[in-house]
A = this chain, B = another copy of it.
Amino acid sequence: MARNAGVKDVAAAAGVSLGTVSNVLNRPDRVSAATRERVEQAMRELGFVRNESARQLRAGRSRTLAYVMLDATNPFFTDVARGIEEAAEAQDMSVFLCNSDSRAERESTYLERLEQQRVQGILVTPVDPAHPSLGEVAERGTPVVVVDRVGPGAEHCSVAVDDVLGGRLAVEHLLDTGHERIAFVGGPDSIGQVRDRLAGARAATEAAGRSPDDLVVVTTEALTVAEGRRAGERIMGLARASRPTAAFCANDLLALGLLQQCVSLGARVPRDLAIVGYDDIDFAAAAAVPLTSVRQPRRDLGRTAAELLIDEAGNPDHRHQQVLFTPELVARASTRRPS
């Protein structure tokens, strides 16, 4: 089997011209069955692999999308990716997943390579949605859809979930359950989601007629399980009298870490500390004290984003949209009122 057979070689082997081979590949119906069979035979024998670069160079199109995600190890984003894949598969497109790992320079390397690759379009959950590079990519002609964040202007489509509302739901639920001293666990502040969820939490606190200071803010350095554990140490280290009786975590990873640490320090959840997470990843329900969490429609988020992207890539009179989904509180044992 020759290493690098091209259409030319296939044509020679099958005794037809270049154009015919190309027709077999692209418009098989225009080729008589006999020739087609002969050409296909030759392809198999030579181990022919169509050169996508040459094809794309000439034909212009490409059948791949890409999703540049913030953290491939966070189940929230892999679920979003699943939604994207569903929508892409329905249109017979492939999805390349790229992991920026929350590092701006990795993100821009991927954006650059994808742009050069002339993918149909790029879905991205950006490290910083306000950074101009996103707009520039779009400006240069590659459709961009922002997922789970909202950019500053309306320069591209975006799909997000109302995080302020989510924060409000979480804290309202805790207030309803009778908690008065509530901690907000999350950070760093540079992450838009964290700011919005905190804003929602504050809004709920005030709406209940309480001072905004009744919300104790515990700042973390990242939204990870390990940081959740550290937050747990800090909270459990507080004197019982001033210790919050409930914690609202900016995501489920934090909440799981917090839960684990508190339990291992001997606290009972929810009796000593009620916990609300955010995202409702599958592991939240699977925690041994099943976690109350704010559910985001992860699959739908991804699916809608991909659909918008595909529309933008194909539809000449596409108009940018900012879709905002509504989160929903899922109450479980971690906030059950102690009876």
Contact = CB atoms under 8 A, between A and B. Distances in A.
A238 interface: no
B82 A47 contact: no
Given A57-B57, A96-B97, A286 B263 contact: no
A303 to B, nearest CB: 15
B53 A54 contact: yes
Interface residues of A, number: 59
Interface string A253-281: 00011011001100000000000000000
B57 A113 contact: no
A82 B78 contact: no
Nearest to A261: B286
Could you say which of A89, A116, A139, A225 has the most chain B C-beta atoms within 10 Å of its C-beta? A116
Contacts of A263: 288
A51 B142 CA distance: 13
- Copies of this chain, whole number: 2
B99 A97 contact: yes
Contacts of A118: 51-53
A114 to B, nearest CB: 9
Nearest to A4: B141
B57 A116 contact: no
B50 A225 contact: no
Contacts of A79: 73
Interface string A302-330: 00000000000000000000000000000
Given A4-B141, A52-B116, A288-B289, 8 more contacts: A3-B140, A3-B141, A47-B136, A52-B117, A72-B72, A97-B99, A256-B286, A288-B288
13 contacts: A50-B116, A53-B53, A53-B54, A72-B78, A73-B78, A81-B99, A82-B101, A94-B110, A94-B113, A97-B97, A225-B282, A260-B287, A288-B289
Interface of A: 1, 3-4, 47, 49-57, 63-64, 66, 72-73, 75, 78-79, 81-82, 85, 89, 94-99, 101, 106, 109-110, 113, 115-118, 136, 139-141, 225, 256-257, 259-260, 263-264, 282-283, 285-290
